[in-house]
Amino acid sequence: MGDNYMDKKIRLTALLLALTLTLAACGTSNSDSKVDSDTVQKTDETATETTTETDDDSTDNDTDKTSSSEINLESFDSTIEDAIKKAKSNFDGQLTDITLDNENNKWVYKIELESDTEEYDVTFDVNTLDVINQESETEDDDDDNESFKYEDLVTLEEAIQTAKNEVDGRAVEISTEWDDDVLYYEVSIVSQSGEEVDVIIDAKSGDFVEIDD
Protein backbone atom coordinates (compact mmCIF):
# COMPACT_ATOMS: atom_id res chain seq x y z
CA MET A 1 0.00 0.00 0.00
CA GLY A 2 2.89 2.34 0.77
CA ASP A 3 4.34 1.67 -2.66
CA ASN A 4 1.02 2.48 -4.36
CA TYR A 5 0.77 5.74 -2.45
CA MET A 6 4.28 6.74 -3.49
CA ASP A 7 3.58 5.86 -7.12
CA LYS A 8 0.44 8.01 -7.14
CA LYS A 9 2.32 10.91 -5.55
CA ILE A 10 5.10 10.68 -8.13
CA ARG A 11 2.61 10.55 -11.03
CA LEU A 12 0.69 13.52 -9.61
CA THR A 13 3.89 15.52 -9.22
CA ALA A 14 4.93 14.68 -12.79
CA LEU A 15 1.50 15.69 -14.08
CA LEU A 16 1.62 19.03 -12.26
CA LEU A 17 5.14 19.67 -13.61
CA ALA A 18 4.03 18.89 -17.18
CA LEU A 19 1.02 21.17 -16.81
CA THR A 20 3.21 23.98 -15.47
CA LEU A 21 5.63 23.64 -18.41
CA THR A 22 2.74 23.64 -20.89
CA LEU A 23 1.26 26.84 -19.43
CA ALA A 24 4.67 28.49 -19.43
CA ALA A 25 5.17 27.58 -23.09
CA CYS A 26 1.77 29.03 -24.02
CA GLY A 27 2.59 32.25 -22.21
CA THR A 28 5.88 32.57 -24.07
CA SER A 29 4.17 31.91 -27.41
CA ASN A 30 1.55 34.59 -26.75
CA SER A 31 4.27 37.02 -25.71
CA ASP A 32 6.25 36.28 -28.89
CA SER A 33 3.12 36.72 -30.99
CA LYS A 34 2.47 40.08 -29.35
CA VAL A 35 6.06 41.15 -29.97
CA ASP A 36 5.84 40.04 -33.61
CA SER A 37 2.53 41.87 -34.02
CA ASP A 38 3.94 45.05 -32.51
CA THR A 39 7.03 44.78 -34.72
CA VAL A 40 4.93 44.36 -37.87
CA GLN A 41 2.73 47.30 -36.90
CA LYS A 42 5.72 49.54 -36.24
CA THR A 43 7.34 48.42 -39.51
CA ASP A 44 4.14 49.24 -41.42
CA GLU A 45 3.94 52.65 -39.74
CA THR A 46 7.58 53.35 -40.60
CA ALA A 47 7.00 52.32 -44.22
CA THR A 48 3.93 54.55 -44.41
CA GLU A 49 5.82 57.51 -42.98
CA THR A 50 8.72 56.92 -45.37
CA THR A 51 6.38 56.73 -48.36
CA THR A 52 4.57 59.89 -47.29
CA GLU A 53 7.84 61.77 -46.80
CA THR A 54 9.08 60.59 -50.21
CA ASP A 55 5.86 61.72 -51.88
CA ASP A 56 6.11 65.09 -50.13
CA ASP A 57 9.72 65.48 -51.26
CA SER A 58 8.70 64.62 -54.83
CA THR A 59 5.94 67.23 -54.71
CA ASP A 60 8.34 69.81 -53.32
CA ASN A 61 10.84 69.05 -56.09
CA ASP A 62 8.15 69.46 -58.76
CA THR A 63 7.05 72.73 -57.19
CA ASP A 64 10.62 73.99 -56.99
CA LYS A 65 11.21 73.04 -60.58
CA THR A 66 8.15 74.93 -61.75
CA SER A 67 8.73 77.98 -59.58
CA SER A 68 12.38 78.26 -60.64
CA SER A 69 11.66 78.01 -64.37
CA GLU A 70 13.25 80.85 -66.27
CA ILE A 71 14.05 81.56 -69.89
CA ASN A 72 17.57 80.36 -70.61
CA LEU A 73 18.13 80.73 -74.33
CA GLU A 74 21.55 79.11 -74.20
CA SER A 75 20.04 75.87 -72.91
CA PHE A 76 17.72 75.48 -75.92
CA ASP A 77 18.80 73.33 -78.86
CA SER A 78 17.16 75.62 -81.41
CA THR A 79 16.78 79.38 -81.84
CA ILE A 80 13.85 81.62 -82.63
CA GLU A 81 15.37 82.06 -86.11
CA ASP A 82 15.19 78.28 -86.60
CA ALA A 83 11.54 78.29 -85.56
CA ILE A 84 10.67 81.16 -87.92
CA LYS A 85 12.43 79.43 -90.80
CA LYS A 86 10.58 76.17 -90.18
CA ALA A 87 7.23 77.96 -89.87
CA LYS A 88 7.80 79.66 -93.21
CA SER A 89 8.65 76.31 -94.78
CA ASN A 90 5.19 75.12 -93.71
CA PHE A 91 3.26 78.24 -94.69
CA ASP A 92 3.90 80.99 -97.23
CA GLY A 93 3.31 84.15 -95.22
CA GLN A 94 4.82 87.16 -93.46
CA LEU A 95 5.88 87.17 -89.81
CA THR A 96 3.42 89.01 -87.54
CA ASP A 97 4.09 87.68 -84.03
CA ILE A 98 6.60 85.63 -82.03
CA THR A 99 6.35 84.30 -78.49
CA LEU A 100 8.60 82.29 -76.18
CA ASP A 101 6.58 80.76 -73.38
CA ASN A 102 6.40 77.85 -70.94
CA GLU A 103 3.40 75.57 -71.42
CA ASN A 104 2.92 72.49 -69.22
CA ASN A 105 6.54 72.72 -68.03
CA LYS A 106 7.79 72.79 -71.62
CA TRP A 107 9.37 75.78 -73.34
CA VAL A 108 7.86 76.55 -76.73
CA TYR A 109 8.21 78.97 -79.62
CA LYS A 110 4.96 80.32 -81.05
CA ILE A 111 5.12 81.78 -84.54
CA GLU A 112 2.32 83.64 -86.31
CA LEU A 113 2.36 84.23 -90.06
CA GLU A 114 -0.13 85.92 -92.37
CA SER A 115 -0.76 85.79 -96.08
CA ASP A 116 -3.28 87.82 -98.06
CA THR A 117 -6.00 85.31 -97.23
CA GLU A 118 -4.94 83.28 -94.18
CA GLU A 119 -3.46 83.46 -90.70
CA TYR A 120 -1.22 80.62 -89.55
CA ASP A 121 -0.20 79.86 -85.94
CA VAL A 122 2.29 77.15 -85.05
CA THR A 123 3.87 76.06 -81.77
CA PHE A 124 7.28 74.34 -81.69
CA ASP A 125 9.25 72.55 -79.01
CA VAL A 126 12.33 74.74 -78.41
CA ASN A 127 14.70 71.77 -78.50
CA THR A 128 13.40 69.44 -81.20
CA LEU A 129 11.32 71.93 -83.21
CA ASP A 130 8.60 69.30 -83.26
CA VAL A 131 5.19 70.80 -84.03
CA ILE A 132 3.08 70.78 -80.87
CA ASN A 133 0.12 72.59 -82.37
CA GLN A 134 -0.75 74.39 -85.59
CA GLU A 135 -3.85 75.97 -87.04
CA SER A 136 -4.86 78.29 -89.83
CA GLU A 137 -7.89 80.46 -90.42
CA THR A 138 -9.19 83.07 -92.81
CA GLU A 139 -7.32 86.35 -92.43
CA ASP A 140 -9.21 88.96 -90.40
CA ASP A 141 -9.26 92.33 -92.18
CA ASP A 142 -9.80 94.07 -88.83
CA ASP A 143 -6.54 92.67 -87.43
CA ASP A 144 -4.13 95.54 -86.86
CA ASN A 145 -1.02 93.34 -86.80
CA GLU A 146 1.66 94.29 -89.29
CA SER A 147 4.42 92.10 -90.59
CA PHE A 148 8.07 92.47 -89.63
CA LYS A 149 11.43 90.79 -90.07
CA TYR A 150 13.09 89.41 -86.98
CA GLU A 151 16.50 90.54 -88.20
CA ASP A 152 15.26 94.15 -87.97
CA LEU A 153 14.66 93.78 -84.22
CA VAL A 154 16.91 93.54 -81.20
CA THR A 155 17.29 89.91 -80.21
CA LEU A 156 15.19 88.14 -77.59
CA GLU A 157 18.27 87.90 -75.40
CA GLU A 158 18.91 91.66 -75.57
CA ALA A 159 15.28 92.48 -74.80
CA ILE A 160 15.22 90.10 -71.83
CA GLN A 161 18.43 91.54 -70.42
CA THR A 162 17.09 95.10 -70.72
CA ALA A 163 13.90 94.05 -68.92
CA LYS A 164 15.86 92.37 -66.11
CA ASN A 165 17.92 95.52 -65.70
CA GLU A 166 14.67 97.26 -64.80
CA VAL A 167 13.13 94.50 -62.65
CA ASP A 168 15.24 92.06 -60.66
CA GLY A 169 13.65 88.67 -61.22
CA ARG A 170 13.02 85.76 -63.58
CA ALA A 171 11.99 86.20 -67.20
CA VAL A 172 9.18 83.70 -67.83
CA GLU A 173 7.75 84.86 -71.17
CA ILE A 174 8.50 87.20 -74.05
CA SER A 175 6.34 88.14 -77.01
CA THR A 176 5.92 90.84 -79.62
CA GLU A 177 3.02 93.26 -79.58
CA TRP A 178 1.89 96.05 -81.87
CA ASP A 179 0.60 99.32 -80.43
CA ASP A 180 -0.09 102.41 -82.55
CA ASP A 181 1.99 101.01 -85.39
CA VAL A 182 4.97 100.51 -83.09
CA LEU A 183 6.32 97.03 -82.36
CA TYR A 184 7.25 96.21 -78.78
CA TYR A 185 8.58 93.27 -76.82
CA GLU A 186 6.53 92.43 -73.76
CA VAL A 187 8.74 90.62 -71.24
CA SER A 188 7.02 88.99 -68.28
CA ILE A 189 9.21 89.09 -65.17
CA VAL A 190 8.52 87.42 -61.82
CA SER A 191 10.15 89.73 -59.29
CA GLN A 192 11.94 88.69 -56.11
CA SER A 193 8.72 89.36 -54.18
CA GLY A 194 6.83 86.94 -56.44
CA GLU A 195 4.89 89.62 -58.32
CA GLU A 196 4.65 89.22 -62.09
CA VAL A 197 5.01 92.38 -64.16
CA ASP A 198 5.33 93.10 -67.88
CA VAL A 199 8.31 95.14 -68.99
CA ILE A 200 7.78 96.87 -72.33
CA ILE A 201 10.79 97.20 -74.63
CA ASP A 202 10.92 98.93 -78.01
CA ALA A 203 11.53 95.97 -80.32
CA LYS A 204 13.57 97.92 -82.87
CA SER A 205 15.65 100.25 -80.71
CA GLY A 206 15.85 98.00 -77.65
CA ASP A 207 15.00 100.93 -75.37
CA PHE A 208 13.07 100.43 -72.14
CA VAL A 209 9.57 101.94 -72.42
CA GLU A 210 7.60 101.18 -69.26
CA ILE A 211 6.59 98.65 -66.63
CA ASP A 212 3.03 97.42 -66.87
CA ASP A 213 1.66 95.99 -63.63
106: CB partners within 8 A, 6+ apart: 125, 132
86: pLDDT strictly greater than 50 = yes
Kindly indicate the confidence band of residue 25, based on its pLDDT and cuts at 50, 70 and 90. low
pLDDT, residue 213, reads 81
- Whether residue 189 contacts residue 213, with contact meaning beta carbons closer than 8 Å, is answered with no
194: pLDDT strictly greater than 80 = yes
pLDDT, residue 109, reads 98
What tens digit of pLDDT does each residue of 143-165 get? 667 999 999 999 999 999 999 99
Q: What percent of the chain has pLDDT over 90?
A: 64
- In angstroms, rounded to a whole number, what is the distance separating the alpha carbons of residues 64 and 173? 18
Q: Which residue has better confidence, 67 or 5?
A: 5
What tens digit of pLDDT does each residue of 123-132 get? 999 999 999 9
- Whether residue 162 contacts residue 171, with contact meaning beta carbons closer than 8 Å, is answered with no
How far is the CA of 16 from the CAs of 10, 27, 28, 120, in angstroms?
Answer: 10, 17, 18, 99
| Domain limits, the chain | 1-68, 73-212
Q: What is the DSSP string of 164-187?
A: HHHS-EEEEEEEEEEETTEEEEEE
Which has the closest alpha carbon to 183: 142, 143, 145? 145
Q: What percent of the chain has pLDDT over 70?
A: 66
pLDDT, residue 142, reads 65
Kindly indicate the confidence band of residue 21, based on its pLDDT and cuts at 50, 70 and 90. low
What tens digit of pLDDT does each residue of 167-188 get? 999 999 999 999 999 999 999 9
Q: What is the DSSP string of 79-103?
A: -HHHHHHHHHHHS--EEEEEEEEEE
Q: Return the CATH class of domain 73-212.
A: alpha beta
Q: Kindly report the average pLDDT of the chain as a whole number.
A: 80
Least confident stretch, 20-34, 81-95, 99-113: 20-34
- In angstroms, rounded to a whole number, what is the distance separating the alpha carbons of residues 128 and 151? 22
CA 189 to chain centre: 18
137: pLDDT strictly greater than 60 = yes
Q: What is the pTM of this model?
A: 0.68
200: pLDDT strictly greater than 80 = yes
